Each structure stands twice: as structure tokens, then as C-alpha cells.
Structure 1
Amino acid sequence: MKTLALSMLCFFLFTATAFGDSADQRELLVESIQVLEEVQKSPDKQIPASLISKARAIIVFPTMLKGGFMIAARYGTGVAIVRNSKTGKWGPPAFVKTYGGSFGFQIGAEAVDLVLLVMTKRGIKGLLKTKFTLGADIAVTAGPVGRHAEAGTDVTFKGEIYSYSRSKGAFAGVSVKGAVINADEDANWAYYNRHLSSKDILIDGRVKKYSESTRRFIKSLGRITSRK
């Protein structure tokens, strides 16, 4: 009996390791979708459909936190996903982390959700680096908000990256400068159970088989970003 129990335990440990898809990363995918869904529920406060439907990539950091007492810098983990330029479909997620930076009007908030829409090839190239700095390596613009945003400035949406932040129910385009975004190689390893760079995942198609959590994430993102 002990031998059988030990064998079963080894089997479950092996399969969990073989397929990766760790609980922390699954939770991060769910939280990222929740942020986008909640933001897009309000027509007058949402990211314009004409903008999010054209995004080449999206980065979401749910619940960025302050570094501590008397420290304004923020840190957090998030997820990045790139749209296939030929098919228009979203690919598998890569995990990222960030620290530092200023976040406009929400500087006093304890927890902040950050959403970045990457609109250009140059923006994607920045995302593929091991590390890049918002506002330095690539320009970041406070994103327009609401279904009538097209009537405002920057009607043609020529920005490279648009940034949005949410805290305590308030959502707005916000200026983000100085935040450093790194590839989270440990999280990629935990989720995919092998060493993969952001480029391997987002561009080169090294992930051939999708886990159930990846499929759900992609399906939900496709629904949220479709032009209605």
C-alpha cells in the first residue's frame, strides 16, 4: 500500500512538473483578464474599442504595490501577449515584472493596476528585450478613455505605447515614466517548465501546445479586444 501511494505521489509530481502551468502564473492570467473585463464594462470609462482592437501587444500588471514606507517606487508582476500580425490572433503569454517609475495622479494609492497597449513594431521590439524603460527606451502616452475618445486629441492614435492605470475604482490614461520592465524568466520557467525567452514565446512560436489556462486566457482576451 505504501509503495502504491508513493508511486501515485511520484506520478502526480511528475505530471505537474512535466506540464508546468504553475498556480501562481494561472492566477496572474485570471487577474489580468479580470482587470481588462472590469475596465471595459463602463462605456464612458473604457479603453476605446477602436484602440484596443488595433493593439499589437498588451501588457497587464494587476495590483502593483508600493515598495514600502516612504518609498514611492512600485513593483509588480504581469503578463504580456502579442497579436499575430497575419492572423490577428493572440499568442501565448510571457511573464514580466516591473519596478520604479512615476504614475501620475495615483501616486498616493497603495495598489495600482497598470495596462499598456503596444501599438507599433518598435514597441514590440522593446518588449522583447531583457529589460527596457518606459519613457526612455520607448515613448509612452497617457491613453484616451471612453467611447467618444476619438473626438479628442490624437484622433489617429499614433502613439507607440498607451498607458492606463486603475486604483480604488478610478480608471484613466496616465503618464508613466521611468518604470523598468524585465522579462520574468523564473515565471516563464514555472509556467512552461523550460527555459524560454520573451522572444521564444511571443514571436518565435516555441510554445506549440497550449495548456487549458492559456487557451482560456487567449479566448477571453480575444473577446475583450474585438471591435464591437
Structure 2
Amino acid sequence: MKTNRALLLLILGTVLPAFAQNKIDDRLGTSAEVLRQMIAHPDSIPKTYLDKAVCVLVFPAVKKVGVGLGVTYGRGVLVCRTGTDMTGAWSAPAMYKLDVGSLGLQLGRSETDYVMLLENKKSALKLLSGKLKLGADASAVAGPSGAKAVGANDTNFDVLTYTRAKGGLFAGASLGSASMATDDDANKAVYGKDISATEIVREGGVTVTPAGKPIVKVLNTASPSSR
């Protein structure tokens, strides 16, 4: 009996970390594909706003949880521009969590992709310091979409939000008082050590993993430098 229990624990100790790592790798890959498609689509994120962004958050396939509660919760990825002024190439990705409260009920969608553009260094540093709450820590608006969107300097804002609902419908969306925080367990799994989001994206203390390269490539290709 003791031998069987020890064997089971050994198997679980091997399988569970590998399963968790696969989920995180899938998150990185899915985030890259969601962002690639939303950048490429003519009715989605305008290049003008992407070029001005200092950080990009991607939360793929966010689902509503809790019967009758409408609570929406997701896990995604943050990538920021490197350099003192955050105008350089894009950093290694950091893992983040999203909590949008009852927004899922308002949207009436069971699964939605979210992309957020942080348009200035102040909001980016606030996000990297811990939890960022829209409305309290940063002003957020539904992002203009399509090629005819106004220029990035025509409006004053911190965060632009975009969604893609099931079926491919693109739209700007107000996220109310949504909050974002670092996913510390996932970051440790990716980089093999306890590490902060600031160390990942600002201090260059990590090497981009194979699973993280696609999303960095998408951004470096679409918007190689800030303007």
C-alpha cells in the first residue's frame, strides 16, 4: 500500500507540473494568435494607437463564471516596450490575471477575447507595481477601431480596450472597474524562479522562452518602435 502511494505521488509530481506548463504555453500561443488576428483585421485595432502604446495586454477566451453572477475572469499576457522611455523593442511577456466583475453578464457573451493598449508610461508603471484598477488608477475608454479612427493624439486617455466576441465580432468595450494583477505562479513556472513583472519587462532579467517568442514577434513586426 505504501509503495503504491509513493508511486502515485511520484507520478503526480511529474505530470502536474508538466500539465501546468502546457497550459501556460497554450496561453502564450493563443494570446499571440488573438493579437495577430486583431491587429490584422481592418475593423479592429488601428496601427496609430498600437504605435503609441507602451504596453499591450492580451486576455484570450475570457469566460463568464458563476451561475447567475456574471463574474468574468481571465488569464493573459503583458508585453511592454523596452528602454527608459518605453519606446524600444518589445519585452519578454509577463503573465497577468483579469477580473472584470459583472461585465460578463452585461456583454451577454460566454467567451470573449480582450486586448488593452496602455498608452502612456504612467499607467504602465502603475500596472507593473501591482494591481491596476480601471477608473481608479487609470482612465479607460473603448478603443476606436478601423482604418478611419481618429489620430492617437486627438484624445486623452490611459488605456484603450478592444474585444472580439465569439463569431469574430470586433468592438471597443468599456471594462468599467476591471482590475489586472500579476499572475505570480505562472511567471515562476515560465521563468523558473520568483520574479516580478517589472523584472521581466523593464529590467530585462529573463530570456524570452520559445513559447513567448510568437507574441513578441507579432508586436515587433506590427509596431517595431513607438512614435
TM-score (norm 2): 0.82
Match of 1:7 in 2: none
Q: Which runs of 4+ in 1 moved over 6 A?
A: none
Aligned residue type for 1:101: G
Mean Cα displacement is larger for which, 121-130 or 58-67? 121-130
Structure 2 gap segments, 5+ residues each: 1-13
CA drift of 1:70 comes to 0.4
Q: What SS does the corresponding residue of 1:53 show, helix, strand or coil?
A: helix
In 2, the alpha carbon distance for the partners of 1:124 and 1:162 equals 13
Deviations along 1:67-95, one digit per CA (max 9) or x if unpaired, are 22101120010000111246620010100
CA drift of 1:39 comes to 1.6
Using the aligned pairs only, state the percent identity. 33
Match of 1:33 in 2: 32
Root-mean-square deviation (CA, aligned residues, Å) is 2.4
Structure 1 gap segments, 5+ residues each: 1-12
Match of 2:170 in 1: 171
In 2, the alpha carbon distance for the partners of 1:101 and 1:38 equals 26
Q: Does structure 1 conserve the Cα–Cα contact (< 8 Å) formed by 2:29 and 2:215?
A: yes
Match of 1:58 among 56, 60, 83: 56
CA drift of 1:226 comes to 4.9
Match of 1:120 in 2: 120
In 2, the alpha carbon distance for the partners of 1:163 and 1:219 equals 21
Match of 1:10 in 2: none
Shift of the 200–161 alpha-carbon distance from structure 1 to 2, 3 Å rule, reads same
Match of 2:6 in 1: none
Q: Number of paired residues?
A: 206
CA drift of 1:32 comes to 0.8
Match of 1:93 in 2: 93
Shift of the 46–82 alpha-carbon distance from structure 1 to 2, 3 Å rule, reads same
Q: Does structure 1 conserve the Cα–Cα contact (< 8 Å) formed by 2:70 and 2:103?
A: no
**1:189-200 to 2 correspondences below 5 Å:** 189-200=188-199
Aligned residue type for 2:162: Y
Match of 2:218 in 1: 220
Aligned residue type for 1:138: A
In 2, the alpha carbon distance for the partners of 1:47 and 1:106 equals 22
TM-score (norm 1): 0.82
CA drift of 1:211 comes to 2.2
Match of 1:156 among 151, 154, 157: 154
CA drift of 1:57 comes to 0.2
Q: Does structure 1 conserve the Cα–Cα contact (< 8 Å) formed by 2:34 and 2:60?
A: yes
Q: What SS does the corresponding residue of 1:150 show, helix, strand or coil?
A: coil
Q: Does structure 2 conserve the Cα–Cα contact (< 8 Å) formed by 1:81 and 1:91?
A: yes
Q: What SS does the corresponding residue of 2:177 show, helix, strand or coil?
A: coil
Shift of the 217–100 alpha-carbon distance from structure 1 to 2, 3 Å rule, reads closer
In 2, the alpha carbon distance for the partners of 1:202 and 1:210 equals 10
CA drift of 1:100 comes to 2.9
